[in-house]
């Protein structure tokens, strides 16, 4: 079992609660609309106290001293570096190293630093994707506005460089919805992506998640079934199970949970999934 796959699955189980906190009722209207609102403001600003240093400290505590050795070494070199080219190279190395230990928040800040200097589509996409991942995987609500604001900045710049990129539009749509001030605009972007590419995995996944967050579980079930037909993985089956459970489709939920066990045969997750199945059977 790949470490990253297990870590991501753990994040899904740990932060499921975010789907049920402050449900976005505006999405009920947005998900049935094809109109793009005029506003382009995500409505959030980064917090001054959420920096690469603060998120790195949290991430190091999560991965332990052993995996932090290389990162500490690169950070020390970055502090001593004087030439801009050397600093940028070290920032890229740090971003990649944080990626290797599945910690998107600090990786995002380093990708953002590189993107602001180089202004390339790839670096903006790297930064935006990691900030969206950090928002999804973190339970730190204080850091959420910073993750959203930086994701919006990154994807807006990516779309300026490549206006036809569906990946950039998907990322921007997700960031707008996460920000809370522009959910309709975010959903409109995601629907635009699906209209152009019905099999787009990321857009379908996020439309399903946002349907869950707004309490539209029937729509969520349809999205996740579409997604499973495209890419049957642990995440899609897990969210399908959760959505079916919410609308009383117990047998479908149990079947989806069973598929989760097949796709993620890790003892920790098997035990957790078995608990969910037992609750449905009682």
**Domain assignment present for 166:** no
List C-alpha distances in Å: 7 to 20, 62, 69, 268: 22, 11, 20, 11
**Domain assignment present for 108:** yes
**Domain assignment present for 244:** no
Total structural domains within the chain: 1
Q: Which two tokens stand for residue 7?
A: 């870590």
pTM for this entry: 0.83
**Domain assignment present for 100:** yes
pLDDT at 10 over 70: no
Q: For residue range 172-217, list pLDDT tens digits in order.
A: 999 999 987 778 999 999 999 999 999 999 999 999 999 998 899 9
Domain interval for residue 74:
50-133
What sign results for the dihedral spanned by CA atoms 241, 242, 244, 248? positive
Burial profile 56-66: b = 16 or more Cβ within 10 angstroms, e = fewer: beebbeeeeee
**Domain assignment present for 24:** no
Q: For residue range 118-161, list pLDDT tens digits in order.
A: 999 999 999 999 999 999 888 888 999 999 999 999 999 999 99
**Domain assignment present for 265:** no
Contact partners, residue 212, CB within 8 Å, separation at least 6: 19, 220, 239, 242, 243, 246
Q: For residue range 249-259, list pLDDT tens digits in order.
A: 999 999 999 99
Could you tell me which of 126, 84, 121 has the C-alpha nearest to residue 109?
126
**Domain assignment present for 1:** no
**Domain assignment present for 4:** no
């Amino acid at each position: 079992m790949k470490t990253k796959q297990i870590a991501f699955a753990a994040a899904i189980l740990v932060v499921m609660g975010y789907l049920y906190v402050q449900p976005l009722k505006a999405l009920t209207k947005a998900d049935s609309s094809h109109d793009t609102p005029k506003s382009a403001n995500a409505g959030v600003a980064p917090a001054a106290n959420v920096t690469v240093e603060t998120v790195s400290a949290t991430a190091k505590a999560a991965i332990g001293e052993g995996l932090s050795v290389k990162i500490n070494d690169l950070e020390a070199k970055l502090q001593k570096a004087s030439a801009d080219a050397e600093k940028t190279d070290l920032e890229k190395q740090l971003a990649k190293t944080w990626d290797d230990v599945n910690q998107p928040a600090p990786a995002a800040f380093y990708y953002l630093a590189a993107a602001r200097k180089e202004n390339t589509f790839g670096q903006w996409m790297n930064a935006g994707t990691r900030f969206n991942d950090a928002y999804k995987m973190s339970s730190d609500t204080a850091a959420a506005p910073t993750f959203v604001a930086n994701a919006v900045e990154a994807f807006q710049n990516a779309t300026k460089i490549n206006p036809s990129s569906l990946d950039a539009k998907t990322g921007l749509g997700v960031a707008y919805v996460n920000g809370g001030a522009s959910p309709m605009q975010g959903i409109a972007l995601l629907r635009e992506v699906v209209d152009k590419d019905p099999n787009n995995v990321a857009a379908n996944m996020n439309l399903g998640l946002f349907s869950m967050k707004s309490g539209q579980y029937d729509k969520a079930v349809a999205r996740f079934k579409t997604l499973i037909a495209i890419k049957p993985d642990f995440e899609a089956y897990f969210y399908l199970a959760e959505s079916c459970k919410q609308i009383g489709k117990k047998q479908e939920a149990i079947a989806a949970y069973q598929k989760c066990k097949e796709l993620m045969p890790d003892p920790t997750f098997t035990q957790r999934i078995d608990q969910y199945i037992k609750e449905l059977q009682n």
